[in-house]
Amino acid sequence: MDGEYQEAYIRNSRGVQLFTCRWLPFSSPKALVFLCHGYGMECSGFMKECGVRLANAGYAVFGIDYEGHGRSRGARCYIKKFENIVNDCNDFFKSICAEEEYRDKCRFLYGESMGGAVALLLHKKDPKFWNGAVLVAPMCKISEKVKPHPLVVNVLTRVEEIIPKWKIVPTKDVIDSAFKDPVKREVIRSNKLIYQDKPRLKTALEMLRTSMSLEDSLHEVKLPFFVLHGEADTVTDPEVSKCLYEKASSPDKTIKLYPGMWHALTSGEPDGNVEIVFADITVWLEKHTTDSNVMVVQPIQAFNDGIVKLNTTASSPETMNKRQKGSYFCGLKGRRLQHHSAM
């Protein structure tokens, strides 16, 4: 890779230590891309290829492991409030945007699966801040095929505060269902930072409520976006992405459905398919970074007056493939293709 990789730790408004990372091109970046990972996933390993590819294309890429995910602290994959994830991402991403060298750069959200919901909620939180979003098989609506009966939801809701962390929600093996390539599937299984147990009760209910809320507000999506989905996806229904595309108010929206591809478009498909997907993503980003009418957000006030760095390390191209140790702490307050065309 022609760039740097850095890792850092921050503390959120609740005092929880969160892991962050960034992939930076050596030259001034074309734009900033902020990663929102999926349920049970993490950034430094699982989303490494995404970070490296986009940095090689000239973008500065930033990721954060949600509380309880990856290398961040907290009960493993326990989501007490989905709003906490959104607020943590909002604080961290905007603190990056406030850095002097990035204030005049376009800002893009990139969300995969549950991360798509995070990205859409970040847009909803501040509709004019983001220049666009790339949404890969996003969780933004509950498919009618798997929507639980209201009675079941009612019963579970009655006990969620009594046994919130219990791993009692039955689910199929998502890894088997999401990753088509058997070799890549086993690589995912060997990643100890990825949560592979049953969902906790409150986590499942928070994801359900978030999806239902987003479903009711898809018409409020106004930013430019590119939604990508595998037609053979059995984890999140492709109809969900079609619904987002049809209902969103954005005049600049693109959807691409990939025949035969599964849920993990960027990490679980054969290499040839992954190349196709990333080529589409970089073409879309390039267009929306160079458009003469692109909306560039005015400089914002930094969230922190000072950042204390402790043994911060950065990787060179020679060491990019090795995980770097070192950190700094800072406190944070607080159809196929359619773009009016078809493939």
Q: Between the CA of residue 111 and those of 26, 193, 200, what are the distances in Å?
A: 25, 19, 22
Task: Specify which residues 24 forms β-bridges with.
Answer: 4
- Identify the helix (H) or strand (E) that includes residue 310: strand 308-310
Q: Is 177 a catalytic residue?
A: no
Q: Dump pLDDT digits (tens) for 159-194.
A: 878 888 988 776 777 888 899 999 999 999 999 999
Q: Is 124 helix (H, G, I), strand (E, B) or coil?
A: helix
Confidence of residue 295 (pLDDT cuts 50, 70, 90): low
Q: Is 263 a catalytic residue?
A: yes
Q: Is 3 helix (H, G, I), strand (E, B) or coil?
A: strand
Nearest of 116, 123, 144, 126 to residue 227 by alpha carbon: 116
**What φ, ψ does residue 65 adopt, rounded to 5°?**
-85, 125
Distance CA 309, CA 330 (A): 8
Residue 293 has pLDDT above 90, yes or no: no
Q: What is the CA radius of gyration of the chain?
A: 19
Catalytic residue among 113, 241, 267, 327: 113
Q: In this structure, what token pair is assigned to residue 158?
A: 């009655």
Catalytic residue among 233, 241, 267, 280: 233
Burial zone of 126 (CB within 10 Å; 0-12 exposed, 13-18 middle, 19+ buried): exposed
Confidence of residue 148 (pLDDT cuts 50, 70, 90): low
Catalytic residue among 263, 267, 288, 327: 263
For the chain, domain boundaries: 3-329
- Identify the helix (H) or strand (E) that includes residue 87: helix 82-97
* Lowest pLDDT segment from 6-20, 59-73, 125-139, 287-301: 287-301
In CATH terms, the fold of domain 3-329 is Rossmann fold (3.40.50)
Cα angle for residues 265, 55, 114 (degrees, 5° grid): 40
Q: Dump pLDDT digits (tens) for 112-143.
A: 999 999 999 999 999 999 999 999 999 987 65
